[in-house]
């Protein structure tokens, strides 16, 4: 078995015990083989050593069923593999989130997901994107988000997908999801595209979370539910704060609809903004816990969906920084982090008691010491030292082959 295959084997063993022993054994094998850290990074970014032959499925929409990694719920999804798909090339993936509500029957959700992937099919044909539309009977809250991440984890193992060219779009309820992904999980995606979705995040005081994302927003002049007004408010704030990575397109005389004439513009926007895990600044403002601990809704009666043991997912990280502990009782948790001159990282926090900083040579001059300043105090001055077990564990923790960091530093505040 090659080192590439051993790394794949380790990453596929996602939920078993004995993690410490496994990662130490793999790191030792890699070091004894003479494979460098740069070569390990290349293996991770390039994808799996082997993929199944999907040639018989190209150019058509196929329906599949799978189990959510986090809840154990079974759900269907629809998949389109473009005609130009080839095992030797890394392809873009676009998740298509359907509209509807959070109390749909399985047949309703499946039919709606199918209708949506058909509506967005030109993006797959014209742009050569793999398209995937999961069906959610529970809407696009925490449960639906778990379905999306589970589907991505499955597809990156079956199809040769570029880890930094995973995008998400959706309309109506799916447009709301695109906004939420931009707000809480922007470091999981390249650019996003909400259609006929979104709320007034200025009044909610959460709009600063959108600063680090890239999005192409489409909405009609005559939207229901205040969607038109909300998008205007968000657009005004983002423009005032010089956020040119957000584009808002209002369709004159249009309503609550999908606009295929915008697909070429969205594809171009996606191509301009692959994911960048190493931005010069990170912004967070959030209330409440950043962990999936179960979800209920009046539409579901007394039913509450709980995560499987040890399988929660988190919204506590943004790019190269992670909030480990803080006051989650309802106070605003705030963070602003900036990579500045002279290898300095400046961080301002509020109601955070512990955080982690993850580092990659692309972020700074790796030869010189890095200075970490938190709330005005110098906390560390040290060069970046490569830690192979940490590099591999971060990739496995997020199940993300593009999430490459050479080391991480923890700080109590």
Strands (E), 117-236: 130-134, 161-171, 192-195, 215-220
Cβ–Cβ under 8 Å, residues 16 and 401? no
- Three-state DSSP class for 377? strand
Q: What distance in Å separates the CA atoms of residue 20 and residue 322, rounded to the nearest whole number? A: 21
For the chain, residues with pLDDT lower than 50 are none
Q: What distance in Å separates the CA atoms of residue 210 and residue 70, rounded to the nearest whole number? A: 26
Q: What distance in Å separates the CA atoms of residue 39 and residue 56, rounded to the nearest whole number? A: 33
Cβ–Cβ under 8 Å, residues 339 and 280? yes
pLDDT tens-digit map of 323-358: 999 998 888 999 999 999 999 999 999 999 999 999
Cβ–Cβ under 8 Å, residues 12 and 392? no
**Among 198, 205, 248, residue whose Cα is nearest residue 224:** 198
Q: What distance in Å separates the CA atoms of residue 404 and residue 402, rounded to the nearest whole number? A: 6
Q: What does R_g of the chain's alpha carbons equal in angstroms? A: 21
Q: What distance in Å separates the CA atoms of residue 203 and residue 230, rounded to the nearest whole number? A: 10
- Three-state DSSP class for 349? strand
Q: What's residue 310's pLDDT?
A: 85
pLDDT tens-digit map of 293-331: 888 877 777 678 888 988 888 899 999 999 999 998 888
- Three-state DSSP class for 388? helix
Instruction: Tell me the CATH class for 55-272.
Output: alpha beta
pLDDT tens-digit map of 360-385: 999 999 999 999 999 999 999 999 99
Cβ–Cβ under 8 Å, residues 63 and 78? yes
Neighbour count for residue 311 (Cβ, 10 Å): 16
Q: What's residue 294's pLDDT?
A: 81
**What percent of the chain lies above the pLDDT cut of 70?**
100
Q: What's residue 26's pLDDT?
A: 96
Q: What distance in Å separates the CA atoms of residue 223 and residue 266, rounded to the nearest whole number? A: 20
Q: What distance in Å separates the CA atoms of residue 242 and residue 230, rounded to the nearest whole number? A: 18
pLDDT tens-digit map of 206-217: 999 999 999 999
Q: What's residue 223's pLDDT?
A: 97
Q: What's residue 297's pLDDT?
A: 74
The token pair that represents 224 in the structure block:
């229901």
Q: Taking the model in full, what pTM does it have?
A: 0.96
Q: What's residue 302's pLDDT?
A: 66
**Domain span(s) for CATH 3.40.50.1820 in the chain:** 55-272
Q: What's residue 143's pLDDT?
A: 92
- Exposed, middle or buried by CB within 10 Å (0-12, 13-18, 19+), for 107? exposed
Q: What's residue 378's pLDDT?
A: 97
């Amino acid at each position: 078995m090659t080192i590439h295959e051993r790394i794949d084997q380790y990453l596929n063993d996602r939920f078993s015990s004995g993690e410490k022993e496994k990662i130490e054994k793999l790191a030792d094998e890699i070091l004894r083989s003479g494979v460098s850290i740069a070569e390990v990074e290349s293996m991770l970014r390039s994808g799996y050593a082997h993929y199944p032959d999907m040639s018989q499925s190209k150019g058509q929409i196929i329906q599949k069923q799978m189990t959510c990694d986090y809840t154990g719920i079974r759900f269907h999804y629809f998949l389109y593999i473009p005609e130009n798909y080839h095992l030797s090339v890394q392809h873009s993936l676009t998740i298509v989130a359907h509209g509807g509500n959070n109390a749909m029957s399985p047949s309703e959700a499946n039919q709606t997901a199918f209708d949506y992937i058909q509506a967005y099919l030109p993006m797959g044909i014209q742009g050569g994107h793999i398209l995937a539309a999961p069906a959610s009977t529970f809407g696009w809250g925490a449960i639906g988000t778990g379905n999306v991440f589970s589907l991505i984890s499955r597809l990156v193992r079956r199809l040769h997908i570029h880890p930094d060219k995973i995008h998400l779009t959706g309309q109506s309820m799916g447009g709301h999801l695109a906004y939420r992904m931009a707000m809480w999980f922007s470091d999981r995606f390249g650019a996003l595209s909400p259609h006929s979705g979104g709320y007034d995040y200025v009044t909610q005081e959460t709009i600063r979370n959108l600063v680090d994302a890239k999005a192409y927003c489409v909405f009609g002049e005559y939207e229901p539910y205040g969607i038109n007004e909300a998008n205007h408010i968000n657009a005004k704030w983002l423009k005032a704060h010089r956020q040119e990575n957000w584009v808002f397109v209002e369709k004159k005389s249009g309503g609550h609809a999908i606009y295929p004439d915008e697909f070429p513009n969205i594809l171009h926007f996606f191509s301009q903004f692959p994911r960048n895990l190493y931005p010069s600044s990170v912004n967070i403002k959030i209330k409440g816990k950043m962990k999936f601990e179960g979800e209920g809704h009046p539409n579901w009666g007394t039913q509450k969906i709980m995560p499987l043991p040890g399988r929660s997912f988190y919204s506590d990280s943004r790019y190269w920084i992670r909030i480990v502990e803080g006051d989650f009782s309802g106070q605003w948790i705030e963070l602003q982090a900036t990579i500045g001159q002279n290898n300095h990282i400046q961080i301002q926090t509020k109601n955070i008691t512990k955080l982690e900083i993850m580092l990659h040579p692309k972020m700074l001059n790796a030869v010189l010491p890095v200075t970490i300043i938190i709330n005005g105090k110098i906390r560390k001055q040290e060069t970046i030292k490569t830690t192979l077990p940490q590099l591999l564990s971060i990739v496995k923790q997020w199940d993300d082959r593009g999430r490459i960091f050479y080391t991480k530093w923890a700080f109590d505040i």
